[in-house]
Amino acid sequence: MVRETSVDVAVVGNGVLGLAVAVETARRAPGLRIAVIGPPGRAGAATAAAGAMLNCFGEVTRYTGWHPAAQAKFALARQALDRWPRWLEQLADDAGPPTGETALRSHVPGTFVVLGGGVGTIAADNFTALCRAVEEHGEPHDVIDPADVPGLAPAPQARPLRAVHLHREGCVDARAVLAALEAAARRHRVRMVPDTVSEVLVSADTVRGVRLADGSTLGAGAVVLAAGSRSSELTADVLPPGAVPPLLHGAGSALLTRRTRPGGARQAIRTPNRAAGCGLHLLPLLGTERQYLGATNFITCTRPDGPVVGAAEILIRSARQEIDQALAGSQLTAWMWGARPITLDGFPLIGSCPVAGLHFATGTYRDGFHCAPVIARHLAARLLGPGPADADWAWFTPYRAPIETMTVEQSLTETATHAAETAREHGLSLPFFLDDEPVATYVRDRAHRLFDRLGHPVALPPEILLLAFILAARGNDHPARWLADHLHAAHTHHAPAPDA
Ligand SMILES: Cc1cc2nc3c(=O)[nH]c(=O)nc-3n(C[C@H](O)[C@H](O)[C@H](O)COP(=O)(O)OP(=O)(O)OC[C@H]3O[C@@H](n4cnc5c(N)ncnc54)[C@H](O)[C@@H]3O)c2cc1C
């Protein structure tokens, strides 16, 4: 068989975003030659480790209303919430039996969000913001007694105080949907290339294709970068330094269990997002008593090697304590790990850039699975024409200075609060006269020292500042240098022209 050496669209990355973009584009333009390039094993991919919750309101935090960019991100997640049922049916049709059917059956509507008694003000504020948002937007929900949440069986001292049931938000089995996307892509004649891209080929400010790890090249009229948290590695030689916010790695661990005792979650049970990370969640999966338990979150600017034991310990301890004590007796059937693609400012990178034909579909952090159908629709429209003009999407244009949703001072204060609350949630207990002041003071001092080194301080999201640049940086100068270099380059690149 002669191997084709050029395609119309080369999608780099075979996670949920790359595949969703390829399938949506192929559906709209059946004659287009599309290739998806990515290693079949997907080691470290976020998609393969996701639950996945399909949450919009469940992801609301106290920061959602702080800035128009955060509101635009919320609007995107709302569109996805409306789109999922139809998108999944269409995917099932495209994939055909049995994969399409399995993905469809894995969808479980309904999510219980529970607020535990022992959590700090950040989780409590996030829960309040969530309740306000469902009221404001008329989202179907019930405020219920936590004792009535089926499958919720926490330790007595961790009984939740409040609970809300979100009717339309739910979960799917990410691995079943991924299999359906692959099947749909093949049926749409998308070429699957089981390799890794080593270079994006650009000349005269126009994308020409990609070079693969085996040394061969694949010409392409358009390239979509959907390589998850590794996408920045491919733009270093193609785009000016500082032009696009870089990607960090939000490492997350999760596990699959099989219950050995009756009970268990019948719909998704989750906490609100909490200090420095994501919410704890237990999801029912297809099959006898199968459950997904997620997830940890640790953000770094260098690629992590794999999961760490401490993450496993925290996940299991918190889940037993706050959600279901019977988890201890469940069988552990799989341990999963992946790196969420998160940008320096926490907002996604979606759309085109000044290199003609180069598009981004990444930076989705903790809800990229949920948002995939609308991001795919947007990208497909852009690949096939100018695409719709929409002010909300403009926030996520890849060529941008980091978006700041708060002042530098607020970022420092919030970061210190996240640190103190995280420490308390993980069992730190101090004499009454100390409160959590030492933790907050330590983090504030470190943050001030870091900011003193930055020529152009930027208000980073608290969890990024805390995890990637304060905690991960202990005894290691690289993160601070990395940040200073990037912010300097971004400042230089995006500074207004002198006569502007
Ligand atoms: C533990 C965990 C739980 C999560 N839970 C949820 C959830 O409940 N709901 C939700 O909406 N989201 C969730 N997320 C986030 C979600 O998984 C991500 O936002 C989303 O999957 C990102 O998809 P992606 O396709 O951009 O990236 P990825 O899934 O990381 O895929 C990128 C792909 O590109 C490939 N690749 C990398 N480099 C190259 C290269 N050079 N050439 C070719 N291919 C390359 C990789 O192998 C990988 O397969 C979770 C993430 C984690 C880690």
Give residue 141's region: left, alpha or beta (phi > 0; psi -120 to 50).
beta
Are 484 and 454 in contact by the 8 Å Cβ rule? The answer is: yes
Along the 500 residues of the chain, how does pLDDT read in single tens digits?
445 689 999 999 999 999 999 999 999 999 999 999 999 999 999 999 999 999 999 999 999 999 999 999 999 999 999 999 999 999 999 999 999 999 999 999 999 999 988 788 899 999 999 999 999 999 999 999 999 999 999 999 889 999 999 999 999 999 999 999 999 999 999 999 999 999 999 999 999 999 999 999 999 999 999 999 999 999 999 999 999 999 999 999 999 999 988 888 999 999 999 887 788 999 999 877 899 999 999 999 999 988 888 888 889 999 999 999 999 899 999 999 999 999 999 999 999 999 999 999 999 999 999 999 999 999 999 999 887 778 889 999 999 999 999 999 999 999 999 998 888 877 777 777 777 678 888 899 999 999 988 878 899 999 999 999 998 767 788 999 999 999 999 999 998 766 65
For the chain, the average pLDDT equals 93
Cis peptide bond prior to 52, omega within 30° of 0: yes
SS3 292: strand
From atom 50 of ligand 1, which residue's Cα is the shortest distance away? 50
16 CA → ligand 1 middle, Å = 7
**CA 461 to chain centroid:** 14
The residue whose CA is least distant from atom 31 of ligand 1 is 15
pLDDT tens readout for residues 67-78? 999 999 999 999
Domains of the chain with bracketed CATH: 107-172+248-343 (3.30.9.10), 408-494 (no CATH)
Q: Residue 3's CB: how many other CB atoms inside 10 A? A: 8
The C-alpha atoms of residue 259 and residue 227 are separated, in whole angstroms, by: 35
Half-sphere exposure of 7 (CA within 13 A, CB side): 26
Pocket of ligand 1 (CB under 6 A): 12-18, 37-39, 42, 45-47, 49-53, 196-197, 226-228, 230, 234, 252, 254, 294-295, 338, 340-341, 362, 364-370
Residue 153 near residue 132 (C-beta atoms within 8 A): no
Report the distance separating Cα 89 and Cα 77, nearest Å.
Answer: 19
